[in-house]
Chains A and B, each alone.
Chain A
Amino acid sequence: MSASATSATLSRRARTPIFLLLVVGVVTVLYPIVFLLTSAFRSNADYLQNPYGLPGELTFRNFVVLWNSYGVGQAVMNSLTVVLIALVVELALAILAGYALAKYDVPGAKLFRAGFVSVMLIPSQVLIIPIYLLLSRLNLVGEFAGLILVYIATGLSFATFFLSLTFRGVPTELLEAARIDGAGFFRTLRSVAAPVGASGIATLAVLQFLAMWNELLFAYILLPDDDKTMLTPALAQIGGRYLSDQPLVSAGLLITALPPLLLLTFASRYVMQGLAAGVVR
């Protein structure tokens, strides 16, 4: 029995109850999600009759109402804009810096590394007051650019650290060969280092997307205007104000949770790899 090669030290008889126990665990994890799925497509009247049962009728009305009348459509666009711009800029900066730190003899590399590592663990509570003041002096409070800057800055040190580890794994001989053929910094990066480190870059991109998409505090305080609000704070407002209309709130939660859930479904490999990186972090 090859399955026992790993650890299968339990008797076969014991494995069925364990399987069932894990199924119970999964049901516990999935229940709130299933609750959202069922309640989001119901009318409020139908929901109030039987909150935990199955819906009597299905409707998309909640989504339409949220999208058109509660500014959720605008908020989705705002979130996508901010997160994608911040992600692209952050990755570009981190790829350059990470590659240089991994493969070039950068003067003062120790200082740079120490700088990046030392800010990695700073909690956002310490940053909210000074960053708010700093951005309001730059007239960037209430502007997408302010939040984009903050997202880039708060993620950048981890991203650089992570990518310098990724690029360190690229064989130096490959880079040497490209250099002998006359390739410079950008050429070796683009045609050798980036392709070899692609999985690491993708992992980082997924991790950072999740972090930015889910962020609440800075999104809430830095973009106070309704027409520029991000999705997560918009959802927090809806959840606070309209809790008597549970289907509406559920629909909002589903919209907010959809991109992360899609990532977990279709890029679970990268999400899981990012997890391993979390241990390093």
Chain B
Amino acid sequence: MGILAVREGGDVAAVTSPPSERQSRLARRGRMIGLAAVLPAFLVVVGFMIYPVLFALYISFNDSNGLRFDWVGLANYLDILADPQVHQIFITNLKFLISVPLVIFAALVVSILLFERIRGWRAFRVLFFLPNVLSAAVIGIMFKSVFGYNGPFMAALEALGGERIDPFVDGNLAIAVIVLALVWSGFGYQSLLLLSGLTAIDPAVFEAAALDGAGWWTRLWHITLPNIRRVLGFVFIINVLYTFSSLFGFVFVMTAGGPGFETTTLDYLVYLRAFSTSNLGSGAALAVLLFMFIGLLTLVQARFFKLSEDD
């Protein structure tokens, strides 16, 4: 036990090389105190995280209005998989994937520029991070304001000879504005992720390449990018995850899923089904399916980018 405890990171109570009764009593006391300290947090997590997830699974196999539960097996799942509206919304969700290359490109450019330790790069770093401390609700309404019919963007467009339009009456334009909001709010954080990858590269590699006469672009292509491909892969994965799980806030405040269902995403649909239909089972099944889909997607991507390999 003593060896195990030390290996686990230096345990205080159980460093018991000379076994005496007093010390083993102390060790047992230490274990009990440790257990008592972990239990409150663990019980909260069990009660309000693990139990709800299992409950969600149970609901998804039922036809339920929240009070009555009629077991229907896989019917909710089969209905969702066959539902043309869900297919349509899945395709809508795929459109949001356009944000992924945009965010990564912006983040990559910024991180490489920051990496050059330009004057004031620390201040730049903090400023680019600014959108990340804001709520999706704030960012969403802000973008709705700036790009709305009466907003400064359309006013400027009109002043330049264009015509004012309301982008939120057209599904694709509305998606474009949401994608802009996604890029604006995401690239700073992700450029910092990439920057940490860049900082981890051994400077000697760059110096050696420079001595060999490799120019800046050559070094970028042959040294910098290959060296951060794991971080790039990670950033790619979290961006794909965001498009399937984190659009609720934007959609909720910017379009409420409209016009029609043209900007309704899967995570927004879960909310709609949960609180505006009589069958909670369907909403729960959709949430479970979305969760499984996201999990599967992450695993596939992690394998594709070989994130688990130590290279």
Cβ proximity bits B88-127 to A, threshold 8 Å, 1 near / 0 not:
0000000000000000000001100111111111001111
B175 CB-CB contact with A under 8 Å: no
Question: Within 8 Å of chain A (Cβ to Cβ): is B152?
Answer: yes
B204 to chain A, nearest CB (A): 12
Cβ of B143 within 8 Å of any chain A Cβ, yes or no, is: yes
Compute how far the CA of A134 lies from the CA of B198 in the bound complex, rounded to whole angstroms. 46
A264–B41 CB distance below 8 A: no
Number of B positions contacting A (CB below 8 A): 108
- A43: chain B residues at CB < 8 Å are none
* A78 within 8 Å of B (CB atoms): no
Query: When A32-B146, A104-B13, A153-B45 are in contact, do A235 and B117 touch as well, CB less than 8 Å?
Result: no
Instruction: Tell me if B45 and A271 are in contact (CB < 8 A).
Output: no
Query: B140-155, CB under 8 A of A: which get 1 and which 0?
Result: 1111111010111101
Interface 9-residue window, one of A56-64, A66-74, A238-246? A238-246
Do residues A153 and B12 form an inter-chain contact, with CB atoms below 8 A? Answer: no
Using CB atoms, name the residue of chain B closest to A210.
Answer: B133
User: Which residues of the partner chain B approach A132 to less than 8 Å between Cβ atoms?
Assistant: 274
Collect the chain B residues with CB atoms within 8 Å of residue A154's CB: 48-49
Instruction: Decide: A18 near B116, CB < 8 A? Known: A26-B124, A127-B52, A275-B192.
Output: yes
A105 in contact with B14 given A128-B271, A264-B129 (CB within 8 Å): yes
Interface check B55, CB cutoff 8 A: yes
Query: What CA separation (Å) do A214 and B140 show in the bound complex?
Result: 12
- Distance between Cα atoms of A278 and B132 in the complex (Å): 12
Provided the pairs A94-B41, A105-B34 are in contact, do residues A271 and B124 lie with their beta carbons within 8 angstroms? no
Contact of A168 with B274 at beta-carbon distance under 8 Å, contacts A25-B110, A112-B42 already known: no
**In the bound complex, do residue B13 and residue A216 qualify as a contact, i.e. CB atoms below 8 Å apart?**
no
Are B35 and A107 in contact, CB atoms less than 8 angstroms apart?
yes
Q: Is A106 touching B53 in the complex (CB atoms < 8 A)?
A: no
| B142→A157 contact, CB < 8 A | no
Asked if B137 contacts A239 (CB within 8 A), the reply is yes
Given contacts A25-B110, A105-B1, contact A257 B151 (CB under 8 A): no
Write out the residue numbers on chain A whose beta carbons fall within 8 Å of the beta carbon of B49: 119, 122, 127, 153-154, 156-157
8 Å CB interface, A151-173 against B: 152-154, 156-157, 160, 168, 172
CB distance from B77 to the nearest CB of A (A): 14
**CB proximity to B under 8 Å, residues A261-281:** 261, 263-264, 268, 271-272, 275-276, 278-279
Are A129 and B45 interface neighbours, CB within 8 A?
Answer: no
Rounded to whole angstroms, the CA-CA distance of A107 and B152 in the bound complex is 61
Decide if A36 is an interface residue (CB 8 Å cutoff).
yes
Contacts of A240 in B (CB 8 A): 253, 256
Min CB distance B264 to A, Å, is: 13
**With a CB–CB cut-off of 8 A, which chain A residues contact B153?**
52
Closest Cβ–Cβ distance, residue A40 to chain B (whole Å): 11
Assess A8 versus B248: contact at CB under 8 Å? Given A115-B42, A149-B48, A185-B37. Answer: no
Q: How far is the CA of A131 from the CA of B51 in the complex (A)?
A: 9
B87 CB-CB contact with A under 8 Å: no
Say how far B132's CB is from chain A's closest CB, in angstroms: 8
Inter-chain contacts of A50 with B (CB < 8 A): 155
> Are A96 and B291 also in contact (CB < 8 A) when A29-B128, A150-B48 are?
no
Total contacts A-B at CB 8 Å? 325
Measured between C-beta atoms, what is the minimum distance from A175 to chain B in Å? 5
A251 nearest CB across to chain B (Å): 12
A232 in the interface, Cβ–Cβ < 8 Å? yes
Question: Are the C-beta atoms of B145 and A105 separated by less than 8 Å?
Answer: no
Contact between A106 and B150, CB atoms less than 8 A apart: no
Chain B residue at smallest Cβ distance from A160: B41
Q: Least Cβ distance of A259 to chain B in Å?
A: 9
**Contact between A115 and B50 (Cβ–Cβ < 8 Å)?**
yes
Given contacts A29-B131, A216-B136, A275-B189, contact A109 B274 (CB under 8 A): no
Q: List 9 contacting pairs A-B, 8 Å CB cutoff, sorted by A.
A: A7-B116, A15-B118, A26-B124, A32-B142, A93-B40, A93-B44, A125-B248, A217-B252, A243-B145
Q: A-side interface residues toward B, CB under 8 Å? A: 3, 5-10, 14-15, 18-19, 21-22, 25-26, 28-30, 32-33, 35-36, 39, 48, 50-52, 93-94, 96-97, 99-109, 112, 115-116, 119, 122-123, 125-134, 136, 149-150, 152-154, 156-157, 160, 168, 172, 175-176, 179, 184-185, 188, 210, 213-217, 220-221, 232-233, 235-236, 239-240, 243-244, 246, 249-250, 253, 256-257, 260-261, 263-264, 268, 271-272, 275-276, 278-279
Closest 9 CB pairs of A and B: A104-B34, A153-B48, A214-B135, A52-B152, A172-B10, A239-B141, A97-B41, A100-B37, A130-B52
User: Which residues of B does A touch, CB under 8 Å?
Assistant: 1, 4-5, 8-15, 27, 30-31, 33-35, 37-38, 40-42, 44-53, 55-56, 59, 66, 109-110, 113-121, 124-138, 140-146, 148, 150-153, 155-156, 184, 188-189, 192-193, 196, 198, 203, 206, 210, 216, 219, 234, 245, 248-249, 252-253, 256, 267, 270-271, 274-275, 280, 283-284, 287-288, 290-291, 294
User: A18-B116, A29-B184, A52-B155 given. 20 additional CB < 8 A pairs?
Assistant: A8-B117, A35-B152, A52-B153, A96-B41, A104-B34, A106-B31, A106-B34, A107-B31, A108-B35, A116-B45, A123-B287, A126-B52, A127-B53, A134-B55, A153-B45, A157-B49, A246-B151, A260-B135, A261-B130, A272-B126
